[in-house]
């Protein structure tokens, strides 16, 4: 999908034309204009920039107002490639009414459990409505997250350059130590369970995060309960096997600033999550796409909904019955997009393996077991690309 070569080839002969002072300490950008081998002047689309060092954040790059084109390091898409998005699939994304799972009469509940099972089997993705998380809590979280990104770069830097297992991390792209292209995203990742971690600033952030984390954990657990039931797995057994009382929960806040050439970079590349499931909520600006069959589907989030995707730990534990879904984030040229992803996973010490009930001679174990801590560390330490972390564990 990323066709960097062609774009880079267009830029192999380039000359330095100017420098831009982005902040007081660093010359961050050197704008390069390609020397055209023909008589025609270089197209403005080809004018680009090369970093001597990466910016502290995409927000800083975008806020500087100095950017009229995308630095080559971020240009990973071929703008001339035919669209791989199928708009006819949008209307088929399954919806799960959580209130029916939690308080519906038995007949309606069983029907919703089956619907959930089908959504997991056919899509690995669904929209959750009537989830019970108050809109005030969701709005407060978005506002608090904006406040977090609006802190001075020096204040945010306190949480940058951390080890992938550190409980609070601020950064840009996915893992800028290993990414060979940059992604148009800044993030904060905060481990909120079993131990709760929050940045001390901005004022009040900690309380909002605590409340949001508690509410979303309840939704995650209800969905998992329904998923186990849809596979006729015993809830108590699964809670023990995955040590869900000590479940690992991370709140990831993503910021995708507007981009002068949104068709060139990705917000996040195609990937699956390392979780059991991930709940996503956004600031009204769409940008999530999920893969269904061979096509991508642009997700329009209904108001007051969570977008839920199945993660790799569910694929392992269900022996491939419920597969993690590939998804990616696209950006736009007008508005800042913010999304809050809540990752719900087994406890770090759980050895996750296919559950015996779903392994048989007709369907032997498809993955080897691995301690979730090791899986997570491996996934976060490497490049984010499709299902590369899970592929390591495949037996069949």
Give, in degrees to the nearest 5, the angle at Cα 226 between 223 and 231: 130
Rg of the chain's alpha carbons, rounded to an integer?
22
Asked if residue 287 binds ligand OGA (CB under 6 A), the reply is: yes
Q: Which of 329, 344, 370, 389 binds ligand OGA (CB under 6 A)?
A: 329
Least separation in angstroms between residue 287's CB and ligand OGA is 5
- Residue 158 Cα distances to 26, 168, 184, 277, angstroms: 18, 10, 21, 29
Asked if residue 28 binds ligand OGA (CB under 6 A), the reply is: no
Least separation in angstroms between residue 56's CB and ligand OGA is 20
Pick between residue 77 and residue 291 the one whose CB is nearest to Ni ion: 291
Asked if residue 327 binds ligand OGA (CB under 6 A), the reply is: yes
Q: Which of 172, 339, 342, 347 binds ligand OGA (CB under 6 A)?
A: 339
123 and 290 in contact (C-beta within 8 Å)? yes
Length of the chain measured in residues = 396
Phi-psi label, residue 76: left if phi above 0, alpha if psi -120 to 50, beta otherwise = alpha
Pick between residue 29 and residue 338 the one whose CB is nearest to ligand OGA: 338
Residue 252 binds what, of Ni ion, ligand OGA, none (CB under 5 to 8 Å, by partner type)? ligand OGA
Query: How many Cα atoms occupy the beta-carbon half-sphere of 136 within 13 Å?
Result: 1
Residue 292 binds what, of Ni ion, ligand OGA, none (CB under 5 to 8 Å, by partner type)? none
Least separation in angstroms between residue 174's CB and ligand OGA is 9
Asked if residue 186 binds Ni ion (CB under 5 A), the reply is: no
Asked if residue 312 binds Ni ion (CB under 5 A), the reply is: no
Q: Exposure of 94 by Cβ count < 10 A (0-12 exposed, 13-18 middle, 19+ buried)?
A: middle
Q: Which two tokens stand for residue 189?
A: 């990742």
Task: List binders of Ni ion among 229-288 (CB under 5 A).
Answer: 273
Question: What are the φ and ψ backbone dihedral angles of 379, each rounded to 5 degrees?
Answer: -65, -40
Q: Which one of 55-63, 84-92, 216-224, 280-288 is the stretch in contact with ligand OGA (CB under 6 A)?
A: 280-288
349 and 241 in contact (C-beta within 8 Å)? no
Residue window 258-277: x/- pattern of binding to ligand OGA, with contact defined by CB under 6 A: ----------x----x----
Q: Which of 61, 341, 390, 393 binds ligand OGA (CB under 6 A)?
A: 341
Residue 339 binds what, of Ni ion, ligand OGA, none (CB under 5 to 8 Å, by partner type)? ligand OGA
Residue window 207-246: x/- pattern of binding to ligand OGA, with contact defined by CB under 6 A: ----------------------------------------
Pick between residue 31 and residue 125 the one whose CB is nearest to Ni ion: 125
Q: How many CB atoms lie within 10 A of CB 70?
A: 25
Pick between residue 59 and residue 327 the one whose CB is nearest to ligand OGA: 327
Pick between residue 226 and residue 287 the one whose CB is nearest to ligand OGA: 287
Least separation in angstroms between residue 278's CB and Ni ion is 6
Task: List binders of ligand OGA among 122-161 (CB under 6 A).
Answer: none
Applying CB under 6 A, which residues contact ligand OGA?
Answer: 252, 254, 268, 273, 280, 287-288, 327, 329, 339, 341
Applying CB under 5 A, which residues contact Ni ion?
Answer: 273
């Amino acid at each position: 999908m990323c066709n960097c070569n062609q774009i880079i080839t267009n830029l192999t002969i380039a000359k330095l034309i100017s420098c831009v002072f982005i902040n007081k300490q660093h010359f961050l950008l050197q704008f390069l204009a390609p020397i055209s081998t023909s008589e025609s002047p270089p197209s403005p689309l080809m004018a680009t920039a090369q970093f001597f060092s990466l910016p502290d954040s995409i927000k800083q790059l975008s806020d500087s107002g100095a950017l009229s084109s995308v630095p080559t390091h971020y240009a990973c898409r071929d703008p001339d490639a035919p669209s791989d998005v199928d708009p006819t699939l949008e209307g088929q994304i399954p919806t799960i009414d959580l209130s029916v799972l939690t308080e519906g009469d038995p007949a309606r509940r069983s029907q919703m459990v089956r619907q959930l099972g089908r959504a997991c089997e056919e899509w690995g993705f669904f929209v959750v409505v009537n989830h019970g998380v108050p809109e005030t809590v969701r709005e407060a979280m978005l506002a608090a997250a904006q406040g977090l990104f609006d802190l001075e770069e020096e204040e945010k830097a306190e949480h940058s350059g951390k080890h992938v297992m550190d409980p609070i991390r601020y950064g840009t792209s996915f893992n800028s130590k290993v990414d060979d292209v940059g992604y148009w995203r800044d993030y904060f990742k905060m481990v909120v369970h079993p131990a709760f971690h929050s940045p001390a600033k901005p004022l009040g952030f900690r309380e909002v995060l605590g409340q949001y984390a508690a509410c979303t954990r309840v939704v995650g657990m209800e969905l998992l309960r329904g998923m186990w039931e849809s596979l006729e797995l015993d809830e108590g057994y699964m809670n023990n096997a995955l040590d869900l009382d000590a479940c690992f929960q991370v709140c990831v806040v993503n910021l995708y600033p507007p981009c002068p050439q949104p068709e060139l970079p990705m917000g996040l590349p195609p990937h699956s999550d390392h979780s059991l499931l991930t709940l996503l909520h956004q600031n009204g600006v769409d940008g999530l796409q999920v893969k269904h069959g061979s096509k991508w589907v642009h997700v329009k989030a209904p108001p007051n909904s969570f977008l839920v995707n199945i993660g790799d730990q569910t694929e392992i534990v269900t022996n491939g019955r419920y597969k993690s879904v590939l998804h990616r984030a696209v950006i736009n040229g007008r508005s800042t997009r913010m999304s809050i992803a809540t990752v719900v996973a087994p406890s770090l010490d759980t050895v996750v393996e296919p559950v015996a009930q779903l392994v048989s001679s007709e369907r032997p174990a498809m993955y080897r077991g691995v301690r979730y801590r090791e899986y997570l560390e491996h996934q976060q330490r490497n490049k984010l690309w499709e299902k590369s972390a899970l592929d390591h564990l495949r037996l069949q």
